[in-house]
Copies of this chain bind each other. A is one copy, B any other.
Amino acid sequence: MTVYQATASAPVNIACIKYWGKRDTKLILPTNSSLSVTLDQDHLRSTTTSRADPAFTEDRLWLNGKVDEIKEGGRLATCIREMKRLRKEEVEDKNPNEPKLSTYKVHICSYNNFPTAAGLASSASGFAALVSSLAHLYQLPVSPSTLSLISRQGSGSACRSLFGGFVAWQMGSDPSGSDSLAIQIAPQSHWPDMHALICVVSDDKKGTSSTSGMQRTVETSALLQHRINNVVPQRMKDIEKAILEKDFDTFARITMADSNQFHAVALDTEPPIFYMNDVSRAIVAVVVEYNRISVEAGKGYKAAYTYDAGPNAVIYAPERNMKEIIELIVSYFPQEGGSFKDVFGLFGSGQLVAKVPSGFNENVAKRFGVGAVKGLIHTRVGDGPRKLGEEEALLNAEGFPKNLT
């Protein structure tokens, strides 16, 4: 008997032009276009195995070893339904010899290689991996942009994880959502020098969920419409050009400005939404000062911070600056000895030592204790979803999670 099963992994992406606000909450159609950098799956990824089997009695999903309920009418159910529809329309209806997988129930098992405690949104990589594994299972002859239409309905920013490199989510205009999809601006290979340092910031309080927060901003912010209509369209053009020209200065300025503006409209919400805390603010101050000494020396920007809906910083920088940046960050936010994983071998066999560049005004921030920044993850621009071999499948022979049986 044939086993219909496929496994795929998908990357995390971190936006430079932020998505904040839906014009259609059911279809997840955004109020503005956005743009992100896909991060390397070698470091951060979601992996998903999907299997279709006529013997299965219901669609089931396990996430990180635990059952995740597929609620009727919910986002998971929507993505699975849409993928089955594509299977039927694009494969089975066109070739009656193909097995009717669209009529089988599926078992789906998904795993994130980064701890939830890292505070990184896993919904983007998770829905991208889900859709990718089902696309392989169903052998769909469709493009990543078409798949992005479906992953978008799982989690908006998931559409951007269908591509590697530099990815735009075009907001589109059709009420059906048919043109609200991801396109690749440039592949990973265009600018492989783009590295990223994720600073995982400890937080006291549970922040506002982005789903509810962004709609409160849409409803109450007096500034959001101006951002949507008058700011983002130009920034999208400018940052695309900067990426194509590998112009880090412009990339950095726009990325930081758009992070600031996203948090500004969150703050302009009633009641206000704060995602950045004192540690986040201190990281901003350190990056601003780091850039200042370089810009004043005529050498341009060296790093760009960006913050999603939480206190974590992601610092984009050319690879050559990363050693200096890590030394600088640990000067203000010391790490437990030996906890930093030097995956790029920046420090050779030597020790990571806190160090501040010459000319740096050390008073721009106070020095925090160990734990204020709980961890540092050094990664870089990466590729899009990968089809994985049978040996990486997360389901066992019976179609249940391997680690649960």
Contacts and interface: CB of A to CB of B under 8 A. Distances in A.
A269 B281 CA distance: 14
A270 interface: yes
A365 B205 contact: yes
Contact of A268 (B205, B222, B264, B270): B264
A271 interface: yes
Contact of A223 (B261, B271, B281, B365): B261
Interface stretch (A64-72, A135-143, A224-232, A385-393): A224-232
Interface string A275-290: 0011001001100100
A366 interface: yes
Q: Counting chain B CB atoms within 10 Å of each CB, which of A257, A267, A270, A288 scores highest?
A: A267
Nearest to A231: B222
Contact of A270 (B253, B265, B270, B363): B253
Contact of A204 (B230, B253, B366): B366
A274 interface: yes
A230 B267 CA distance: 18
Given A227-B223, A278-B277, A365-B205, A284 B263 contact: no
Contacts of A263: 267
A362 to B, nearest CB: 12
A274 B285 CA distance: 10
Contacts of A230: 222, 226
Contact of A256 (B205, B253, B265, B270): B270
Interface in A23-57: none
A264 B226 CA distance: 13
Interface in A208-264: 222-223, 226-227, 230-231, 253, 256-257, 260-261, 263-264
A332 to B, nearest CB: 12
A339 to B, nearest CB: 24
Q: Counting chain B CB atoms within 10 Å of each CB, which of A270, A274, A285 scores highest?
A: A274
Given A205-B364, A272-B284, A278-B278, 11 more contacts: A204-B278, A205-B285, A223-B231, A256-B270, A256-B271, A256-B272, A257-B268, A260-B267, A261-B267, A264-B265, A274-B281
9 smallest beta-carbon distances between A and B, as pairs:
A226-B226, A264-B264, A264-B268, A271-B288, A264-B267, A260-B272, A278-B278, A222-B231, A204-B366
9 contacts: A222-B257, A222-B261, A223-B231, A256-B271, A260-B267, A264-B268, A267-B267, A274-B284, A278-B278
